[in-house]
Structure 1
Amino acid sequence: MNNQTDIDIVVRYLEDPENELLKQQLNEWIQQDPGHLDIFLDMKAMWQGDPLPAPSAFDTAGKWEELSTRLDKAAVPAVTAPASTRVIKMNRRYWWAAAAVLVIAGTWTLMGPGGYKTFATAQTQDSLRLPDGSMLYLNANTSVRYARSFGKDNRIVKIDKGEAFFDVKPNETLPFIVNAPEVEVQVLGTAFNVKAANTGVKVFVQSGKVSAAYRGTEKKVILTPDMEASLKLHGSTIDTHVHKKNNNILAWKTRTLTFDEAPLNEVAEALEDFYHVQVHISNPQLADQKLLATFPNMALDEVLDIMRKTLRINITHKNDLVDIY
């Protein structure tokens, strides 16, 4: 790979993740050794903003010596730790690499500000298993965090932005709480979706029962399966809606859009949310048009082409704008 170091391949990709050549180089490097994937994931987590805490008690000098040896082998300028200080002058790119090596050695833990572990996604989705066994699925452009004591004396997850689906492990003695901007969701064991947008928070329950409330107030609502609550930022009212079984709220997770005689305005909203585009219906006479179709993980243009032929309507798609007329 043009004599690039292993570490440099990862760093170059993190600096320009949309570069197809760098994606290919990273993929080839990961395929060379199963351990490379772990290194990449740890470096990615730190690159997205998780700071390193003070080192725990371990042989710091020895680890720096080990790191220097590994960097030497990778043709990276050697880094040594002076005997009188722990301040290491390193290029920013290789500082991230050094931190990743120490993480792989099991001597550091990644904790965000205030003792939180932070997870963030960019343009892709991801999932993780929480310490209590609950599963968390993150939509693109989502940031969540939980305390280092999670599962011991609390089960609190903070969703700072984006959308996440929670499949919660039952524990009657330790409620599971999700804190979103100005909103608190509490459950004992269930599966539900939380979407934190600029205008407010939406909570949808797939199974079980949850309460959604404005934090610090008595204003709350109890949600059961197929119910959704909308709580506006700086608001005081909670709007609820009962959805049909085949709604598309969780389409981002299932990767399937399903429309059962859905009106065109509802279809437009689902397309906007799923494909992150703006859909405009410029012909008001199309409001009564209804769509019966299922789109399993299909490209937007394929979906639009089927809609065009099925409903016999005109559709144009340019950049992030879709016009139906």
Structure 2
Amino acid sequence: MKDELLIKFLLKETNAREDSEVTEWLAAGAANQRYFSQMELIWNVSKQLAVTSTVDEDAAWNKFKENAGQLDVQRPRVRMFPGKFLKAAAALLLALGAWSAYILLRPGYTTIESAATVRTEILPDGSEITLNKNASLSYQTRFSGNRRNIKLNKGEVFFKVAPDRKKPFVIASGNTTVTVVGTSFNVKYRNDQTEVIVETGIVKVRNGDNEVLLHAGERALAGKGINLAAQKNPDQLYQFYRSRVFIAHNTPLSRIVEVLNENYDARIRVADPEKAALEITTTLNDENLDHILEILALTLKLTVVKEGDEIILK
């Protein structure tokens, strides 16, 4: 449904055929009704501002289009929009800000949360996502406009993006954006830092004015005070929450403990910094935590000590 026809309907300038078209569209689903209600809200508020408005409606409309690039909007024809309406709408945009108006008109977002289990979902465009435990992600329900917008609210998610060069897949996490057209990669967002690891294809990572391209096998860490740069990904342990295969190859004990703490909700620490630097090579298939600790202890000649809910490797 074109926005021009909906606004014409609000102005009561539609003919019988157009009335029927809008009515059928509204009856087709709750999402259509919400979208129309949002437009109606802007119209009702704009009427209150129409009397005193003296703004330049051309400038306001252009500014609105600039900020609301996700919407499939077109500059309405003069015959559809009386000057009074244009001035009222422009005044509303200036009063609320173009971004606020965009929020009201943009398609809704759907949030997915994984809680205590790993969760896999298929997005409307066919992309597959796997959320690690305690992750939260919001995606643009209709993927309208020229981008597929995603917001990673917290946690870790693996993306296998359906290719579409005309509509990039854009993930926002804090002040960092990740842009792809069709590839697979892992994104972790915690403590205002974003880690991106690329499995296949090319990924563009941007933080503020800094930008880097990552290729398969590379990673980058983005956040305040961090130098954004491509680095070789040192291990495959980021896959553990999806594959349940624990693969370590000359991996420092400190890194293994980090992964175990994240995936088993454990509190493990290494008492001696020198032992934390010890390296291990092993492959384990979805073992329980006690078994993994037993293997680490035997291989590296460590002692496992449990104190309350804390596990100490000595």
Question: Normalising by the residue count of structure 1, what TM-score does the alignment of the two structures yield?
Answer: 0.61
Please, which of 254, 264, 273 is the counterpart of residue 253 of structure 2? 264
Moved over 6 A (4+): none
Assess, with a 3 A threshold, how the Cα gap between structure 1 residues 120 and 261 changes in structure 2: closer, same or farther.
same
Assess, with a 3 A threshold, how the Cα gap between structure 1 residues 130 and 288 changes in structure 2: closer, same or farther.
closer
- 1:244-285 Cα distance to aligned partner (Å, 9 max, x none): 4x5211211111211112222222222223223232211234
Query: In structure 1, how many angstroms separate the alpha carbons of the residues matched to 2:194 and 2:260?
Result: 20
Report the equivalent of 2:228: 238
Bigger shift: 278-287 or 158-167? Answer: 278-287
Mark the structure with the bigger radius of gyration.
2
Report the equivalent of 2:211: 220
Report the equivalent of 2:8: none
- In the alignment of these two chains, the number of paired residues is 214
Query: In structure 2, how many angstroms separate the alpha carbons of the residues matched to 1:247 and 1:172?
Result: 28
Query: In structure 2, how many angstroms separate the alpha carbons of the residues matched to 1:124 and 1:270?
Result: 16
- Name the amino acid aligned to 1:221: V
Report the equivalent of 2:197: 204
1:279–1:322 CA contact under 8 A, matched in 2: yes
Q: Does 1:176 align with 2:144?
A: no
Assess, with a 3 A threshold, how the Cα gap between structure 1 residues 221 and 153 changes in structure 2: closer, same or farther.
closer
Assess, with a 3 A threshold, how the Cα gap between structure 1 residues 144 and 257 changes in structure 2: closer, same or farther.
same
RMSD, aligned CA: 2.4
Superposed, 1:1-325 pairs within 5 Å as 57=27, 115-150=108-143, 153-214=146-207, 217-232=208-223, 234-235=224-225, 237-244=227-234, 246-318=235-307, 320-325=309-314
2:107–2:144 CA contact under 8 A, matched in 1: no
Query: In structure 2, how many angstroms separate the alpha carbons of the residues matched to 1:59 and 1:136?
Result: 26
Assess, with a 3 A threshold, how the Cα gap between structure 1 residues 218 and 313 changes in structure 2: closer, same or farther.
same
Assess, with a 3 A threshold, how the Cα gap between structure 1 residues 122 and 300 changes in structure 2: closer, same or farther.
same
SS in 2 for 1:307: helix
Assess, with a 3 A threshold, how the Cα gap between structure 1 residues 192 and 320 changes in structure 2: closer, same or farther.
farther
- Name the amino acid aligned to 1:166: F
Identical columns (%): 29
Unaligned runs of 5+ in 2: 1-25, 31-105
Which structure has the highest helix share of the two?
2
Query: In structure 2, how many angstroms separate the alpha carbons of the residues matched to 1:288 and 1:195?
Result: 24
Query: In structure 1, how many angstroms separate the alpha carbons of the residues matched to 2:168 and 2:29?
Result: 40
SS in 2 for 1:249: helix
2:245–2:284 CA contact under 8 A, matched in 1: yes
1:131–1:151 CA contact under 8 A, matched in 2: no
After TM superposition, give the deviation of residue 179 of structure 1 in Å: 0.9
2:124–2:141 CA contact under 8 A, matched in 1: no
Unaligned runs of 5+ in 1: 1-55, 61-112
Assess, with a 3 A threshold, how the Cα gap between structure 1 residues 285 and 218 changes in structure 2: closer, same or farther.
closer
2:107–2:142 CA contact under 8 A, matched in 1: no
Query: In structure 1, how many angstroms separate the alpha carbons of the residues matched to 2:212 and 2:299?
Result: 40
- Name the amino acid aligned to 2:305: T
Query: In structure 1, how many angstroms separate the alpha carbons of the residues matched to 2:141 and 2:163?
Result: 20
- Name the amino acid aligned to 1:227: E
SS in 2 for 1:268: helix
- 1:2-45 Cα distance to aligned partner (Å, 9 max, x none): xxxxxxxxxxxxxxxxxxxxxxxxxxxxxxxxxxxxxxxxxxxx
Question: Normalising by the residue count of structure 2, what TM-score does the alignment of the two structures yield?
Answer: 0.63
Query: In structure 1, how many angstroms separate the alpha carbons of the residues matched to 2:243 and 2:228?
Result: 27
Query: In structure 1, how many angstroms separate the alpha carbons of the residues matched to 2:145 and 2:273?
Result: 56
2:187–2:194 CA contact under 8 A, matched in 1: yes
- Name the amino acid aligned to 2:273: P
1:132–1:151 CA contact under 8 A, matched in 2: no
Assess, with a 3 A threshold, how the Cα gap between structure 1 residues 293 and 196 changes in structure 2: closer, same or farther.
same
After TM superposition, give the deviation of residue 119 of structure 1 in Å: 0.9
